[in-house]
Structure 1
Amino acid sequence: MTKVVALEDENLQLKHAVHAHATVDQAIGVILALGGLTPDEGWDVLRSISQRTNIKLRHVAELIIEWARTGDLCSDIRRELEQHLGLGTRAVRDDGQDT
C-alpha cells in the first residue's frame, strides 16, 4: 500500500509541476508580445522581476497572466516590467496597451 501512496504523491507533484510550467510559459508569452523579446530574454525578465520583488516566480507569472486578462497589475511588478522592457514610467497602461 505504501508504494501506491508514494506513486500517487509523485503523480500529484508532477501534475503541479506541469501546471506551474504552463503558467510560466504563458507569462513569458505575454512578455514577448509586449517587449518583442526572444523566449530566453522573456525568461530572464520574468526571473529578474521575481528576484527583485521577492515574489515567487510562479506567482509573478500568475499576476502577469491575470494582468493580460484584466488590465490590473500591482505597482511593484508593473515598475519592474516597465524598467526591464525599457518602456519608461507609466508606459504600460492598466489595460495592457503600450502608450
Structure 2
Amino acid sequence: MDRPVLDGSVPDHDEFPSQGPDATDPDADLRLELDQLRRAMRSRGTIDLARGILMAAFGLSQDDAWKVLVATSQHTNTKLRTLAEQVVDSAGGTPLPESVRKRLSAAVAETNAAADAQPQPQPQPQAQAQAQA
C-alpha cells in the first residue's frame, strides 16, 4: 500500500491482502477446521462440567442443562465456552455477571415450564395388568 486512497476510488484487490484462508492453499480449509475442532475439544470438558453444575443445582436433565446453556449464551451474546467458564467459576464462589445470572435464571424457569407442559406418557392398559399380575 504505497499510496493512500483519498479520491474515493477503490484500490485494486492486490493492495489489500485477504484476511481469510489463502485461496491458493488447498489445505487452508482443512487447517482451519482442525483448529476449530481442537478449540472445541479443549472447551468440551468445561462445558460438560457446567452442564453438570446446572443439573445438580437445578435438577435438570442433561438435555435441559444443554438447552439452558445454549439459550443463555444466545441471549447474552456470550460464547458458550465463556459462559461455561463463568458457570464453573461461580461454583467456586465467583459471582456471575448480573445479566448472565438473570438470563440463566430465566432460561432455567423456561426450561422447567416447558418440561412441565409436556404430557407425561400414560402406562398402557396391558402393561398395568402385567405389572399387577
| TM-score scaled by length of structure 2 | 0.53
The equivalent of 2:127 in structure 1 is none
Structure having the higher helix fraction is 1
CA RMSD of aligned residues (A): 2.4
Aligned identity (percent) is 36
2:83 and 2:51 map into 1 onto residues whose CA distance is 11
SS of residue paired to 1:70:
coil
Could you list the per-position Cα deviations for residues 60-87 of structure 1 after superposition, in whole angstroms to 9, with x for gaps in the alignment?
001110111124110011001211223x
Q: Which has the higher contact order (CA 8 A, sep 6+)?
A: 1
Work out the CA distance in 2 between the residues paired with 1:16 and 1:83: 29
Q: Residue 76 of structure 1 aligns with which residue?
A: 99
Residue type matched to 1:24 in 2? Answer: I
Which of 65, 68, 79 aligns to 1:42? It is 65
Deviations 1:17-38 (A, max 9, x none): 2221111101111111111010
Number of aligned residue pairs: 85
Report the counterpart of residue 31 of structure 1 in structure 2.
54
- Which residue is equivalent to 1:85? 108
Gap regions ≥5 residues in structure 2 = 1-31, 110-133
Query: SS of the residue aligned with 2:96?
Result: coil
1:58 aligns with 2:98: no
TM superposition score normalised by structure 1: 0.70
Instruction: Give the 4+ runs in structure 1 shifted more than 6 A.
Output: 9-12
Q: Which has the larger radius of gyration?
A: 2
What are structure 1's unaligned runs of at least 5 residues? 1-8, 87-99
